[in-house]
Amino acid sequence: MGNVQHMKTQLHGLILAGVHRWQNTVLERVVLRILVPMGDRNLTAHVIEWIRRSGVTTATMCANSDTSALRNAFGDGKDSGVDLRYFEDHMPRGPAGCMRDAAMNLDAENLVVVDATILSVHH
């Protein structure tokens, strides 16, 4: 029996999608900030499209108590062309804590970390 080498994923996305409600505003009561409509899709859908166009085919959504809303909106990511996974930070410690814990469960050579509420202009 020879050694079986495990192939690492070249590139994996980490989408920081945790939500901290700053104020009890009307908008926040209607829709999560990460799911605010922007044109024909919500904000996070634009981020997923951006990382897909950049060559990312698998990504983990780092979230907190709103993980179920993300799962309902994006499922397994099949429709977006990105294999989506979810990591729920049960005790929110901020984006860096969730990102670190999610990354520890990955076998990727490179990570692309992006906030779910930032739009990138691409040509």
Instruction: Please state the CATH superfamily assignment of the domain spanning residues 10-18+28-115 in this structure.
Output: Spore Coat Polysaccharide Biosynthesis Protein SpsA; Chain A (3.90.550.10)
* CB-based contacts of 43, cutoff 8 Å, min separation 6: 33, 34, 35, 36, 37, 116, 117, 119
Q: What is the mean pLDDT of the chain?
A: 81
Instruction: Supply the pLDDT for residue 47.
Output: 92
Is residue 11 within 8 Å of 55, Cβ to Cβ? yes
pLDDT value at 5 more than 60: no
Is residue 63 within 8 Å of 89, Cβ to Cβ? yes
Half-sphere exposure of 48 (CA within 13 A, CB side): 26
pTM of the complete model beyond 0.75: yes
pLDDT digits (tens, 9 = 90+) for 112-123: 999 888 876 654
% of the chain residues with pLDDT over 70: 80
pLDDT digits (tens, 9 = 90+) for 70-109: 899 999 999 999 999 998 887 767 777 888 888 887 888 8
